[in-house]
Structures are given as C-alpha cells and as structure tokens.
Amino acid sequence: MKKLIRHLFHAVFGLYMLLVFSVLAVSLFPFLLILPRLAWRRTMARTLSGLVFALCAMRPTVRGLKNLPGNSCVIVANHSSYLDGVILTAVLPPDFAFVIKREVTQVPFVHYLLRSIGSEFVERHISGGKARDSRRLLQKASSGSSMVFFPEGTFQSEPGLLPFHNGAFAAAVRGGLPLVPVIIRGSRWILPAREILPRWGRIEIEVLPALTPPKPGAGGQRQLRESARLAMQASLGEPLVERQKEPAP
C-alpha cells in the first residue's frame, strides 16, 4: 500500500511540475518578444526559473556564491539531468551565456527561448561545425564574455563524473578568465536520464573556489581540465567514469 501511495504521489507531483514549467515557459515567451535588452530577458528567465522551483517546494540551496569573481569567468558544472540548465538559470546572476549542444536547435520553441537569452550552440559531431563553433566561443572568451559549460556533454542514470570535453578550458585559457567549478546535487534523482516525470527532491548548488587559468602553452588546457575534474569529483563524492555507460537520449 505504501509503495502504491508513493508511486501515486510521484505521478501527481510530476504532472504538477510539468504543468508549472509549461505555463511559466509559455509566460516567458511574450517577454522575450518585447524586452529589447539581453540583460532584461535573462533577468526574466532567471525570475521564472526560480518560480518553477518555488512553486514546487524545491527552492535550491546555494553555497559558495562568494567564490564567483566580480568580473567575467567561465563556469563548468556537472551534468546529471535536463533540469541542470534551468537550475543554474535560477541561481546564477543573469550574466552568463549557456553553451548547449546544437541538437537542441531542432526543438523550435525551446531553441527560440534559449537563443533569446543569449545561449551559444555548439556542434559535437561534424568536424567543420565543431571547428567553427570553437572559434566563435574562443572569440567570445577573448572579449570577456562569461559562459557556462557542462563539460561532460551528456549525462547518465548512474552516479559518476564523465570525461570532460576541452571547450570550456580552451575558452578560459584563451580569454585569461577564471574557471569556476560548480556542483549540482539532486537533479539526477529528480529527473533521471530517460525519465519523463520529475520527482520531488532537494536541490543543492555548491560554487567551488575559482581556478586561475595557466598561460597559453603546451599542456595548459589539459592541466586546467584535470584540476577542475578532480576538484569537482572530490566535492561531489561520485566516481570518475572513464567510459560512457548510458548516454542520455
């Protein structure tokens, strides 16, 4: 009986959260059309993202915000769920461009929302597109733009920190920007890979101390990448996974 009640609660809560998210996402759309400044659109996205979690009694707990530099930086966060981008939108200052896989551009409404708040889309598979997008991100980093990367590139159901791609670390080195590791806890439980309905759970965000990028040169990117991954693994308490087991769809 208890198991049945628990499953019923999960189903009702999941449908409720999807309804809240859908209503607020649609509510955001007219603001993206009428607000002329990127900063205003990002602030509105931040407000509505925070409202999603507040209405679902899952307001994130945030520690270490003082570790964010006062100027431009590159953030790298672990990736456990489709909720991760919404969570960071809700808790970070509205100054960051999220770097997202280009496959998302095939989802028209979501693509428009993300592009309207200044997200950057990157090709992961086609070599010409990867090179073009990498050059664009490096130029933005050189100009001092702040960006958020999920360097694992995907996520899986099992706990573990997947190998990191190089883009975030190349951008930090090229732009001379501090690299800030961020830990997201709870999102894998709330919305695991291959699940549709979210569950209630606690969300914790921890901003770790910034890492100073080395000067451009041989091995600098790799050194920064491994330092960030080890720092994140130590705080997250999940194993380092060297081979992807179950990619998200």
Please write the tens of the pLDDT for every residue from 138-156: 787 777 789 999 999 888 8
Asked if pLDDT for residue 30 goes beyond 60, the answer is yes
154 DSSP β-pair partners: none
Average pLDDT, the chain: 87
> Quick one: pLDDT at residue 17?
95
> Going edge to edge, which strands form the sheet with 147-149?
61-63, 204-207, 179-185, 74-77, 147-149, 97-101, 120-122
224 belongs to a structural domain: yes
User: For the whole model, what pTM was predicted?
Assistant: 0.89
179 belongs to a structural domain: yes
Asked if pLDDT for residue 130 goes beyond 80, the answer is no
Enclosing domain of residue 118: 2-236
Distance (Å, rounded) from C-alpha 80 to C-alpha 60? 15
241 belongs to a structural domain: no
Count of domains observed in the chain? 1
184 belongs to a structural domain: yes
Which of 174, 187, 180 is closest to 211 using CA atoms? Answer: 180
CATH number at residue 110: 3.40.1130
> Quick one: pLDDT at residue 114?
87
168 belongs to a structural domain: yes
| Mean pLDDT to the nearest integer, 1-16 | 85
12 belongs to a structural domain: yes
227 belongs to a structural domain: yes
Give the pair of three-digit tokens for residue 191. 């919305």
159 belongs to a structural domain: yes
Asked if pLDDT for residue 126 goes beyond 70, the answer is no
Asked if pLDDT for residue 59 goes beyond 70, the answer is yes
> Quick one: pLDDT at residue 246?
45
pLDDT digits (tens, 9 = 90+) for 185-233: 999 999 998 889 999 999 999 999 999 988 877 678 899 999 999 999 9
Handedness of CA 108, 30, 83, 195 (dihedral sign): negative
pLDDT digits (tens, 9 = 90+) for 82-125: 999 999 999 999 999 999 887 777 777 787 888 889 888 886 65
Distance (Å, rounded) from C-alpha 89 to C-alpha 83? 10
